Amino acid sequence: MTDYLNELNESQRAAVLYNDGPSLVIAGAGSGKTRVLTYKIAYLLDNGYEPWSILALTFTNKAAREMKERIARRVGAERARYLWMGTFHSIFSRILRTEAAAIGFSANFTIYDAADSKSLIKAIIKEMQLDDKVYKPGVVQSRISNAKNHLMLPDAYAASRELYENDQAAKIPAVRDIYRRYWERCRQSDAMDFDDLLVYAYILFQTHPELCDKYASRFRYVLVDEYQDTNYAQHCIVLQLTEKYRHVCVVGDDAQSIYSFRGANIDNILKFTSLYKDARLFKLEQNYRSTQTIVKAANSLIEKNREQIRKEVFSENDKGEPITVFNAYSDVEEGEIVANKIAQLRTKKGYSYDEFAVLYRTNAQSRIFEEALRKRGVPYRIYGGLSFYQRKEIKDVIAYFRLAVNPNDEEAFKRVINYPARGIGNTTLNKIIDAANVHRVSLWKVLNEPLTYGVSLTKGTHTKLQAFRDLIAGFVEAVSHTGAYELGKDIVRQSGIINDIYQDRSPENLSRQENIEELINGMHDFCADREEEGNTHILLTDYLSEVSLLTDQDSEGADDAPKVTLMTIHSAKGLEFKNVFVVGLEENLFPSPMAGDSYKQLEEERRLFYVAITRAEEHCFLSFAKTRFKYGKVEFSNPSRFLKDIDARYLNLPQEDIVSRKVEEGAKRFRREMDSDTPRYISGNSPSMFDGGEIPEEPRRFVKPAAPRVLRRIPAAETSVGTSASSPAVNGVCAGKQIEHERFGIGEIIKVEGSGDNCKATVRFRNAGEKQLLLKFARFKII
Ligand code: ATP
Ligand code: MG
């Protein structure tokens, strides 16, 4: 029955079998932490635990689904179905809906997404007559969020001298007042934002010991994956639930802590052992995911971090190939190189498309790869960016759904009170908002009895508001008895949305129509799936509670044909792919410019790079581009300092036949830095062997023969009469000539200087201003 225990190594098995008290598994990437959790759950099920008595908290819903599927294969789908498995947010929103009354919410409370919450904060800033250039809504939002992640409620915030001084120093002393209002407004709207789901779970258990006990005894075993990325609130909730029975197992890797900007705290790992003094610590050292080379390269990188729990990670897999570094001339070429390499590996080694991932630091980088892959006919799936549920027409429809389920929802109310246009202007809306604020009630309440709340209206406006009220009241009434799919269709029709977007057949409207149809079809599938699971009468409430917790990582494409994965490194946590491309390894991109001078943040960026490399099983590629189109213009960039953190033995850095003295000197300096004990990267402007003038020095260590180019490039040999030549007029490239550049267009050469590989031309372009081009790489023709 427990044959599967043979599929674990000794340390893993010991971790699975130890269930007498709290335990902690700290181990490097790919060493089987998630596997330990999965097998432990199977083992518990085989040893008398009922599925509903096991709670497993994962970082994404997708991870939970995958874990459940694996367990289902061992113990059968029927038993696996009843496991409590999901993200903190999805599990605790479910518990909060059941226990909502205890904390003064209705079971149908709305969940505000980040955009709703920002929009409410913005409205409050405006109402308080503060300047939103000073009180930037995004900044205020992250301060409030941070406070909540540390379980700091408005009173505690207002009482905190430290926070006040902090806000004062940032010239935004009123954050505490905004926070208080925001808190109250969410309550009036019967709404919680994402952070509130944790805060209220904590409050619920803290203020109702009997409920805490109910769940603590229901969940006889609590397991947490990716523990290094839990925040303080999550950490406290785990304690609340496990303090009494102490059946808890958390797994994590401090080297992969990458969410400190969201309040995650590596210290939670350390706190865990100090709170559970008897906790057994298990260490796993063998990596089963990656080749030896990848594991060693990743080790050599993370060693450069000062703050870490030292651990050994080794692999007994094949040695594997060195990590190849690509040096692209431009971001566009970087895309082409990656697309070519994918196509090549697929043909030569028979990989399937879903065995490739392209990982980047920021979502904005995805577009170039999408284009390159599309051109080559390579299918891909992109995670993140503007997800389906963030599109305007979808948000409009969902706002009606939200009102139907919870008419007190302020953000939904404001969104659709005049959409589709029904002649209710901002003046009227503001009157309603003011009255609601004065009387501390929801907008919906005021709408129902405007006179009671002192809102004076013309007869015409009154009639229009009445019509809107009746429309929503009709939906509210239908919610309890009409199925989600039927009601969804009715709402789209009766609200006037269909009329609005079916007015014309412009391409934008066609795509909106398709999206709305997709939404409705999705509702149909949702209901069908639920019915298959034995549920009857699926209501809009059920649908909404699922949809409001979907994250970008959860969006699965409609078809499951194999596709290349494009995602940010943050989203790739916990995943693995045969072939991984980590792209955009440039200063000011990765590490992110946001890391600035802070060595702590640079260490976090380095951990992020560690996460990226350790996703790879067989091949890992790193790339950077010398020029990148950013903020509307082309910018030169230097290779990321992180490239130097990897031991060069594990990199494929083709030797150049001519290595200039300058680069040699740079390399020597770099070696000295490596040997010195002082932290090297405390400053964002730390010396780099690649720092040059406007044109960065050619980073010879990383030169890779360039991929075929679209426009004719003047080959290096042609641009020079010989490496020692100082003659600037080479092969027709001389001052006065007109050229056409692939990106900058037409221009005139003003000056040519340097020789050999360093030969460069100053060109005045008609539309792009003056640029210096390194002839070796420039893509242009003489006209
Ligand atoms: P990460 O830190 O990236 O989350 P992890 O420590 O959770 O990684 P897993 O994802 O559990 O590691 O395991 C990595 C890979 O190694 C998986 O494909 C897993 O199936 C495999 N693996 C783990 N342990 C063993 C084992 N004992 N025998 C064979 N394969 C194993
Ligand atoms: Mg894992």
Residue 264 pLDDT: 65
- Find the CATH number of the domain harbouring 138: 1.10.10
Query: Is 225 among the catalytic positions?
Result: yes
Dig out the tokens for 569 from the structure: 């490194």
- Domain membership of residue 414 as a residue range: 388-548
Contacts of 729 (CB under 8 A, 6+ apart): 735, 752
Please state the atom number of ligand 1 nearest to the C-alpha of residue 35.
11
Query: Is 33 among the catalytic positions?
Result: yes
Residues around ion ligand 2, judged by CB within 5 A, are: 33-34, 574
Query: Is 466 among the catalytic positions?
Result: no
CA of 226 relative to ligand 2 center, distance in Å: 7
395 lies in the same domain as 494? yes
Q: Tell me which residue has its CA closest to atom 2 in ligand 1.
A: 29
Q: Tell me which residue has its CA closest to atom 14 in ligand 1.
A: 30
Asked if 42 contacts 8 with a C-beta cutoff of 8 angstroms, the reply is no
Reported as a single tens digit per residue, the pLDDT across 497-540 is 988 888 777 777 787 888 898 889 889 988 988 888 788 889 99
Phi and psi of 304, rounded to 5°?
Answer: -75, -10
Q: Which of 80, 41, 34, 82 is nearest to 60 (CA)?
A: 34
The reported pTM is: 0.78
CA of 399 relative to ligand 2 center, distance in Å: 36
Burial (CB count <10 Å: 0-12, 13-18, 19+), residue 533: exposed
Could you give the CA distance from residue 237 to residue 252 in angstroms, rounded to a whole number? Answer: 17
Examine residue 179 and state whether it is found in any structural domain, yes or no. Answer: yes
Residue 730 pLDDT: 53
To test the ligand 1 pocket, which listed residue (37, 288, 309, 618) has its Cβ within 8 A of the most ligand atoms? Answer: 288
CA of 288 relative to ligand 1 center, distance in Å: 6
Residue 199 pLDDT: 98
Is 21 annotated to bind a ligand? Reply is: no
Question: Which of 548, 575, 604 finishes a domain?
Answer: 548
What Å distances lie between residue 471 and 403, 411, 417, 444, 750, CA to CA?
11, 17, 11, 12, 69
Positions of the chain with pLDDT under 50: 654-726, 728-729
Could you give the CA distance from residue 770 to residue 760 in angstroms, rounded to a whole number? Answer: 13
91 lies in the same domain as 232? yes
469 lies in the same domain as 529? yes
Dig out the tokens for 177 from the structure: 């007042």
CA of 294 relative to ligand 1 center, distance in Å: 15
To test the ligand 1 pocket, which listed residue (16, 34, 609) has its Cβ within 8 A of the most ligand atoms? Answer: 34
Examine residue 726 and state whether it is found in any structural domain, yes or no. Answer: no
- Find the CATH number of the domain harbouring 250: 3.40.50.300
Query: In what helix (H) or strand (E) does residue 640 lie, and over which residues does it extend?
Result: none
Examine residue 363 and state whether it is found in any structural domain, yes or no. Answer: yes
Examine residue 756 and state whether it is found in any structural domain, yes or no. Answer: yes
Could you give the CA distance from residue 109 to residue 254 in angstroms, rounded to a whole number? Answer: 36
Catalytically annotated residue among 35, 415, 431, 615: 615
**Which residues have any ligand 1 atom within 6 Å of their CB?**
7-9, 12, 27, 29-35, 253, 256, 288-289, 574, 576, 614
User: Which ligand is located closest to the Cα atom of residue 614?
Assistant: 1
Residue 740 pLDDT: 81
244 lies in the same domain as 225? yes
Examine residue 579 and state whether it is found in any structural domain, yes or no. Answer: yes
Dig out the tokens for 448 from the structure: 């129902």
CA of 573 relative to ligand 2 center, distance in Å: 8
Examine residue 638 and state whether it is found in any structural domain, yes or no. Answer: yes
Residue 267 pLDDT: 76
126 lies in the same domain as 155? yes
434 lies in the same domain as 511? yes
Could you give the CA distance from residue 358 to residue 612 in angstroms, rounded to a whole number? Answer: 10
Could you give the CA distance from residue 541 to residue 558 in angstroms, rounded to a whole number? Answer: 24
Strands 356-360 and 564-568: parallel
Q: Which residue has the tokens 């540390």?
A: 150
Query: In what helix (H) or strand (E) does residue 330 lie, and over which residues does it extend?
Result: strand 323-330
Catalytically annotated residue among 12, 34, 58, 428: 34
232 lies in the same domain as 166? no
Examine residue 297 and state whether it is found in any structural domain, yes or no. Answer: no
Question: Which of 189, 209, 232 finishes a domain?
Answer: 189
Residues in the chain: 783
Question: Dihedral of CA 511/513/517/520: which sign?
Answer: positive
Question: Which of 629, 660, 691 finishes a domain?
Answer: 660
539 lies in the same domain as 642? no
CA of 731 relative to ligand 2 center, distance in Å: 57
Catalytically annotated residue among 225, 333, 618, 697: 225
Please state the atom number of ligand 1 nearest to the C-alpha of residue 574.
4
Is 30 annotated to bind a ligand? Reply is: yes
Q: Tell me which residue has its CA closest to atom 15 in ligand 1.
A: 289
Dig out the tokens for 313 from the structure: 């990670």
372 lies in the same domain as 512? no
Q: Which of 181, 165, 167 is nearest to 129 (CA)?
A: 181
Reported as a single tens digit per residue, the pLDDT across 734-758 is 888 888 876 677 888 888 887 776 7
Q: Tell me which residue has its CA closest to atom 21 in ligand 1.
A: 288
397 lies in the same domain as 355? no
Number of domains in the chain: 5
435 lies in the same domain as 531? yes
Examine residue 627 and state whether it is found in any structural domain, yes or no. Answer: yes
CA–chain centroid gap for 433, Å, is: 34
619 lies in the same domain as 741? no
Catalytically annotated residue among 234, 256, 324, 365: 256
